[in-house]
Structure formats: structure tokens, C-alpha cells
């Protein structure tokens, strides 16, 4: 069954355009590729497309490609037969089979190991999967929605994503702007979350002072809508009265006035930023990955590329 569609707030021209396009996009069977920073609403849009599509009564299955260990990812995608490898104690249907007739969300698609990307390409082309240890292919009818919060051309350049697969997955591209580039959405989202969260927390409806609203408009929101929702929930819980003042909005002051090194390419900037974070974390990969909000696998690939002198 389709998940309950959630309300999507959209006052900015870019979000309005995306919402207006959804019914049309949903009607097609084409694969969709949604890009945007973390917390911009990629999953929300993917669910909305599924809910509007003729597939809405069939499964909406999500696979977080960054969270599945390399050793399990093939079985997770395509399934396996009993006894096909040590530990395969029972037959297992993969996510492609589970999503048959519906939609499969490939979250963080650049995290799929390159070897598996080659297999995935074949599945997308042939519309059939073979379980590990299976003897015959199984026909599937799945619409793929892929997401990534990386710049795609840099993911292709850095060999994180096969270009041929990308073209198969990216029939319809959707790009979600960061919240700081669609400020028209900040206050409507704020009002929506205030109402929703006051209700959820059993509090009377709270309002923000003019200063507090301005503080939300001035902030850069690196965590986008998710961060805004968290900041508001904290403020609702902490505020002793029905008024929320700026001091209750606990945001990272460093992000208020960004000072960006001008003259570097995005790739150089990313490299510098990653290496500096790595140094600040005393070479601890796990800590660095957590701090940067990327998976260990992505970090390892990037560090390896830098060491080899790739950009
Ligand atoms: N336009 C919107 N209106 C209402 N809520 C939104 C909107 N966009 C995002 N949200 C909410 O913000 C949170 C983050 O959205 P979502 O999980 O879709 O982001 P994402 O781009 O998939 O992030 P990530 O890259 O970290 O997976 C969710 O709780 C979602 O409900
Ligand atoms: Mg997501």
C-alpha cells in the first residue's frame, strides 16, 4: 500500500514548479533521478510521485544503498536461493521483486559498489532479475526513483557512479534547491511545523517573535528542512510561554554569515574541506564520515582518489 501522502509545503517558484510537474511525471513509467542536499525533501517528492502514479496501490520499497554492507547488497537487491552461499538458509526475495508493479527508491545511489552497478544496469535494461544461485530470470516491472546528495558530474568523475547507469536512471531529473536558495519556503514551513508539532507535543499553538522569524530567514540551513523541523521542535519544547524568542532557536551561529573561499572549484573546495575535517578528527575515518554526513565507503573512495592525485 502507498504510504499516507504527506503535505508538501511549496511557496517558492522552484518548489511550486516541481509540485505542478508531479502529476505528469507520475503518469509516465520513466525512471527519475532526484538530486539535492540532505534534508531538502527528496524522499517526500519520491513518495508523492508514487502516490500520484498508477502504481500507488502497489508497493513503494526503499533501499538505503549507503546502509547495506557490500557483502549483502547483491542479495538485498536481487534476492538469493536457499543454499546459494554460506548463511543462505532460506530463499530470499530481493527489493526488486518486492517492488514489482510498484516503485523502488534507490536512496544514495552513488553508494552502490561499482561491480553491482554493472549488474544493476543489466536489470534496468532487461527488466528482469536473477536471484543469487537462481537458474532463471524473473520478469519485473519496477519504476526506479534514485536519489543522491552528491553533485552527479563529480560522482561520475570520481568513479562513484557509472555514466551508462546514470543515463538509464536519469530519464527525468528533479533537482531540489537548498532551503537557503528558496527562502520563500522558510516561514510557510515554520508555520506548518509549529502547528503540527505543538499539536503532537500537546502544547498550545506557539508563535515566533518578529526577531525569531528573521533569525530563521538569515540562517543558511545546511541540514535544510529536516534541520528547520528539529530547531522548531526543540524551541517548542523549551519555550515556557506561547511565544518563541530568538534565543530559543538553537542554531549554529557559524552558519549565519558564511565566508567562502572564492576562486576554488567546487571539487577543490570539497577536497579541501574533507581533508581538513579528516585532520581535525586526527585521521579517524568513522568520526570524519559522521561529521561530514557521508558514509564510510564514500569517504574511503574519496580519500583513495585524493591519494592517487585525482581531483
Ligand atoms: N516541502 C516540504 N514540506 C514539508 N515537509 C518537508 C518538505 N521537504 C522536506 N520535508 C520534511 O523534511 C524532512 C527531510 O525530508 P526528506 O527525508 O525527504 O529529505 P531527503 O532529501 O531525502 O534527505 P536525505 O538526503 O538526508 O535522505 C522530512 O521529515 C520531510 O517530511
Ligand atoms: Mg532521503
Question: pLDDT tens-digit profile of 93-149?
Answer: 999 999 999 999 999 999 999 999 999 999 999 999 999 999 999 999 999 999 998
> Is residue 184 in contact with ligand 1, taking CB distance under 6 Å?
no
Would you say residue 262 has pLDDT above 80?
Answer: no
Q: What is the pLDDT of residue 255?
A: 58
- Cβ atoms within 10 Å of 92's Cβ, excluding its own: 17
Q: Does the structure show a pLDDT above 50 at 50?
A: yes
Q: Would you state the pLDDT for residue 309?
A: 54
2 pLDDT band, cuts 50/70/90, is very low
CB of 223 closer than 6 A to ligand 1? no
Q: Give the number of other Cβ atoms within 10 Å of residue 104's Cβ.
A: 26
C-alpha torsion angle, residues 17, 23, 27, 33 (rounded to 10): 40
Say if ligand 1 is within 6 A of residue 43 CB. Answer: yes
pLDDT of residue 1: 45
The Å distance, Cα 134 to ligand 2 centre, comes to 32
8 lines ligand 1 (CB under 6 A): yes
**H-helix segments, the chain:** 13-27, 42-52, 70-78, 95-98, 114-126, 152-157, 163-169, 186-200, 210-218, 224-238, 266-280, 285-292, 296-307
Measured by CA distance, the residue closest to atom 25 of ligand 1 is 38
Provide the grid cell at 46. 519520491
For ligand 1, atom 27, name the residue with the nearest CA.
38
Output the CA 38–ligand 1 centroid distance in Å. Answer: 8
Distance 46 CA to ligand 2 centre (A): 9
Average pLDDT, the chain: 90
The verdict on the CB of residue 9 being under 6 Å from ligand 1 is: yes
- Ligand 1 test: best mutation among 40, 105, 200, 225, most atoms within 8 Å of CB? 225
Q: Is 36 in the pocket of ligand 1 (CB under 6 A)?
A: yes
Contact 73, 47 (CB under 8 A): no
More confident call, 264 vs 171: 171
Asked if residue 257 has pLDDT above 60, the reply is no
Radius of gyration of the CA atoms of the chain, in A = 22
148 lines ligand 1 (CB under 6 A): no
User: Residue 133 to residues 96, 114, 140, 246: CA-CA distances in angstroms?
Assistant: 16, 21, 18, 60
Top-confidence residue, 65 or 310? 65
Whole-number percent of the chain with pLDDT over 70: 94
The residues facing 207 across adjacent strands are 243
The pLDDT score that the predictor gives to residue 311 is 42
pLDDT at 64: 94
Nearest CA to ligand 1 atom 9: 41
Strands 32-35 vs 172-175: parallel, antiparallel or unpaired = parallel
Output the nine-digit C-alpha cell for 8.
Answer: 508538501
Amino acid at each position: 500500500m502507498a504510504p499516507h501522502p504527506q503535505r508538501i509545503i511549496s511557496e517558492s517558484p522552484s518548489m511550486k514548479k516541481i509540485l505542478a510537474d508531479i502529476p505528469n511525471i507520475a503518469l509516465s513509467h520513466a525512471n527519475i533521478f532526484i538530486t539535492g542536499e540532505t534534508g531538502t525533501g527528496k524522499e517526500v517528492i519520491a513518495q508523492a510521485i508514487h502516490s500520484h502514479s498508477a502504481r500507488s496501490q502497489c508497493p513503494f520499497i526503499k533501499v538505503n544503498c549507503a546502509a547495506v554492507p557490500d557483502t549483502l547488497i547483491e542479495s538485498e537487491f536481487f534476492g538469493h536461493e536457499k543454499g546459494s552461499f554460506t548463511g543462505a538458509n532460506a530463499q530470499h526475495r530481493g527489493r526488486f521483486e518486492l517492488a514489482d508493479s510498484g516503485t523502488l527508491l534507490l536512496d544514495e545511489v552513488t553508494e552502490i559498489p561499482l561491480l553491482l552497478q554493472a549488474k544493476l544496469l543489466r536489470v534496468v535494461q532487461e527488466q528482469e532479475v536473477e536471484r543469487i544461485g537462481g537458474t532463471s530470470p524473473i520478469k519485473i516491472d519496477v519504476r526506479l526513483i534514485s536519489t543522491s546528495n552528491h553533485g552527479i558530474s563529480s560522482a561520475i568523475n570520481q568513479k562513484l557512479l557509472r555514466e551508462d547507469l546514470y543515463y538509464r536512471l536519469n530519464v527525468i531529473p528533479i533537482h531540489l534547491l537548498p532551503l537557503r536558495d528558496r527562502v520563500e519556503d522558510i516561514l510557510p514551513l515554520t508555520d506548518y511545523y509549529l502547528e503540527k508539532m505543538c499539536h503532537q507535543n500537546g502544547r498550545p499553538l506557539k508563535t515566533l517573535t518578529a526577531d525569531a522569524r528573521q533569525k530563521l530567514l538569515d540562517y543558511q540551513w545546511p541540514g535544510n528542512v529536516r534541520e528547520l523541523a528539529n530547531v522548531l521542535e526543540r524551541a517548542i519544547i523549551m519555550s515556557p510561554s506561547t511565544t518563541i524568542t530568538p534565543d530559543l532557536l538553537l542554531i549554529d551561529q557559524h552558519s549565519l554569515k558564511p565566508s567562502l573561499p572564492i576562486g576554488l572549484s567546487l571539487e577543490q573546495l570539497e577536497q579541501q574541506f574533507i581533508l581538513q575535517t579528516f585532520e581535525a578528527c586526527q585521521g579517524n575515518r568513522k568520526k570524519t564520515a559522521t561529521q561530514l554526513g557521508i558514509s564510510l565507503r564514500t569517504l574511503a573512495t574519496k580519500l583513495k582518489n585524493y591519494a592517487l592525485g585525482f581531483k
